[in-house]
Chains A and B, each alone.
Chain A
Amino acid sequence: MLKIIKQAVWQLQQRNQKASALAFLRVALCSWYLKELLFRWPALELLYSNNSILKIKASNSFQLFHLDIAFFYEHYLVLVYCCIVLLFLNLFGIGKNILAFILFIALTILYNLNDKFGNSGDEMVLLLFFYLSFANSFSRFTLFKQKQIGVDKQHFYNLMSNLAAYSIIFNLCLAYFLAGTFKAQDPYWIKGIGIHYFLNDERFSIFAAGNTLHLPTWLMYLVNYGTIAFELSFPFLVWFRQSRNVVLSLGLMMHLGIYLFLMIYGMSIVFIIQYVLFFTEEELNQCFQKIKLLFIKRKQLQT
């Protein structure tokens, strides 16, 4: 047993198996969160300010860590600016893992400042920033080239990075599996009509403006049971090359549907950008090469 573990650890130390995927994830996440903060700007006063029309308390975490809530409420804009600067720095790979961890802490404080605001997208993003703060996501898309470090240090860094990458993968699989399990326990989803109630939920659905939407029965059952089957099978089928592309395409379709018809934007994007981790380094390198070639050809044509 110990031999197998040693072998696995040794293998994880040899190379950063998800270097390109992690780099893409860092850039995509930072860009997405920057966009979120900028578009959320008009809502910041409502969410965090003492002058908000809604008086909402911070989460209990502030008491737990003996942090002065009043101070944060008073200076909530400073905190937001800090998050923006940190996101920019992390986007360009400046400050590496230490800055990435500080970013995670800053975003966590912002999240906890309002205990009634938060969605699955925000929650997943916090987890991703936590994992990324241990990963080597700086092999690509950085402003400055990575410095060479000693072989032993590099091996240790590879191990950390690979463990972080596989934690992200495991977390995504867990999220889908749990969602599928909970749906399989809900009486409406079991009957095949859970999706009907979601498509008629006025908070989310673009169809639910006044009249009740009735899908054809076959379509309702297909989407309902299809969703459960997809969520339960995702963690198992995504590992095989033959089924991987089918499962990821189905996931893409599901999140596209959620994005277009259920007005849930953040969660869909955050879940989809993690799919990049299921591709090998070689596949991603090929993809990046193709994109590069496309740009070069375009430039040549222009000149």
Chain B
Amino acid sequence: MMQQETKTKIIAYPWLCGCIIFSLLVYWIFSLALIFKSQSIQSVAPLPRAVYYSFFKQNWHLFADTRQYNRELYLILNDSNSQQKNDSIALVKYIVAQKRKHAPFNNFEDATDHLIYRIMNGLEQQIYENKILLQKQFPDMSAGYYLQQSSMLVEQDSLHKSNLQNLESFGKYVLQQNKITTTGKLFKLVLVYHYIQPPNPQAGINTNQIDQTIFTSTFKKI
């Protein structure tokens, strides 16, 4: 009886099973290490990390990072002769409205929203880095100075010009979609944070802040 029991508990392909279980263990240990110590892994094993990220993304924040504001990207049109403000289009509002209109079958609008959102993230990162540099070089200057200078540096940055170029292209696309005449007009982009009103004054931060301009480009020909 005992002999029969031991016979039935024989593992098929023991070596192969061992290899499979070992590989699975390595995979999970590496996954967990990347989740919790991504930067350390980058310095120790950059190649395996890059290979892993090519196939898998384990970034499960799922709305954990709260944004206290809604971002808006304005495209402002000026008359090239009189230099007077002619028109202003809220580009983010435009995408969101399209997304709402076609929900739940809004895959095109959702894709556009995703792309523009990530491009704006890239632009914001550029602005942030420039601002830090400026604050180090020229401390105690006004907020307006940092805004103007960092915006200028972003426009002059030839290495990372794709973010701004993409946003400009999208602005032109929206102008086309809305059939807005562009002859004899100049345009510029302005990135603004519209702060969300907190649920109650005690709980919220930035209660006094309503809008904050983050970036403003110079006027260009369309």
| Contacts from A to B (Cβ < 8 Å) | 6-7, 9-10, 13, 36, 39-40, 42-43, 46-47, 53-57, 59-61, 64-65, 108, 112, 114, 116-120, 123, 126-127, 130, 151-153, 155-156, 159-160, 163, 167, 170-171, 174-176, 178-179, 182-183, 185-189, 191-194, 196-198, 200-203, 206, 208-209, 212, 214-215, 217, 220, 231, 259, 263, 265
Interchain CB contact under 8 A, B12 and A263: no
Question: Which of A156, A170, A196, A202 is in CB contact (< 8 Å) with B198?
Answer: A196
A12→B199 CA distance, assembly (Å): 52
- Of the residues B17, B110, B165, contact of A55 by C-beta under 8 Å: B165
Q: B107: which of A39, A192, A197, A220 is its contact (CB, 8 Å)?
A: A39
Whether A175 pairs with B60 at a CB distance below 8 angstroms is: yes
* Chain B 80-102 interface 0/1 with A at a Cβ cutoff of 8 Å (1 = within): 00000000000011001001100
Give the total of B residues in contact with A, Cβ under 8 Å.
Answer: 65
List residues of chain B with CB under 8 Å of any chain A CB. Answer: 9-13, 16-17, 20-21, 24, 28, 35, 50-51, 53-68, 70, 92-93, 96, 99-100, 103-108, 110-115, 117-119, 162, 165-166, 169-170, 172-173, 196-200, 203-204
Does the CB pair B112–A9 fall under 8 Å? no
A191 touches B64 (CB 8 A): no
| 16 further contact pairs, Cβ within 8 A, besides A202-B93, A215-B199 | A10-B9, A53-B170, A53-B172, A57-B162, A60-B50, A61-B54, A114-B115, A120-B60, A127-B56, A167-B24, A179-B62, A182-B60, A182-B64, A201-B70, A206-B100, A231-B62
Nearest neighbor of B117 in chain A, beta-carbon distance: A203
Interfacial chain A residues near B111, Cβ < 8 Å: 40, 43, 46-47, 117
Beta-carbon contact of B170 and A126 below 8 Å: no
Shortest distance from the beta carbon of B24 to any chain A beta carbon, whole Å: 6
Q: A118 near B199 (CB under 8 angstroms)?
A: no
Contact (Cβ within 8 A) B12 A189:
no
| Nearest-CB residue, chain A, relative to B112 | A46
**CB <8 Å contact, A197 and B35:** no
Given the interface pairs A53-B169, A60-B50, A119-B114, the reply to whether A156 lies near B12 with Cβ below 8 Å is yes
Who on chain B is nearest to A259 by CB? B104
Query: Out of A9, A116, A214, A259, which one reaches B118, CB within 8 Å?
Result: A116
Given contact pairs A130-B56, A186-B64, A203 touches B113 in the complex (Cβ within 8 A): yes
Contact across chains for A220 and B66 when beta carbons are under 8 A apart:
no
Taking A108-B55, A202-B93, A217-B200 as contacts, is the C-beta distance between A46 and B66 under 8 angstroms?
A: no
Chain A neighbourhood of B64, CB < 8 A: 179, 182-183, 185-186, 189
User: Number of contacts between A and B (CB, 8 Å)?
Assistant: 192
Name the CB-closest residue of A to B109: A43
- Is the CB–CB distance between A42 and B61 below 8 Å? no
Known contacts A126-B55, A159-B20, A178 near B60 by CB under 8 Å: yes
Distance of B202 from chain A, by nearest CB (Å): 10
9 contacts between A and B (CB under 8 A): A10-B10, A13-B12, A39-B107, A54-B166, A123-B57, A194-B66, A201-B67, A203-B113, A265-B104
Assess the B60–A179 pair: CB atoms within 8 A. Answer: yes
B198: chain A residues within 8 A (beta carbon): 193, 196
Q: Tell whether, in the assembled complex, residue B16 and residue A156 are in contact, meaning their CB atoms are under 8 Å apart.
A: yes
Say whether A152 contacts B13, CB under 8 Å.
yes
Is A40 within 8 A of B108, CB to CB? yes
Scoring B13, B105, B170 by chain A CB atoms within 10 A of each residue's CB, the highest score goes to B13
A65 and B54 contacting across the interface, CB-CB below 8 Å: yes
A182-B61 in contact given A53-B169, A212-B196 (Cβ < 8 Å): yes
Q: Contact between A56 and B115 (Cβ–Cβ < 8 Å)? A: yes
Q: Please determine whether B199 and A217 come into contact, CB atoms closer than 8 angstroms.
A: yes
* A64 with B63, Cβ < 8 A, contacts A43-B107, A155-B12 known: no
Picked from A9, A170, A206, the residue with its CB within 8 Å of the CB of B11 is: A9
Residues of chain A within 8 A of B113, CB atoms compared:
203
CB distance from A274 to the nearest CB of B (A): 13
- CB-based nearest A residue for B172: A53
Contact in complex: B67, A263 (CB < 8 Å): no
Shortest A205–chain B CB gap in Å is 10
Verify A263–B106 contact, CB threshold 8 A. Answer: yes
CB contact between B66 and one of A151, A174, A188 (< 8 Å): that residue: A188
Q: Of B54, B108, B196, B203, which contacts A42 at CB under 8 A?
A: B108
Minimum CB–CB distance for B57 against chain A, Å: 4
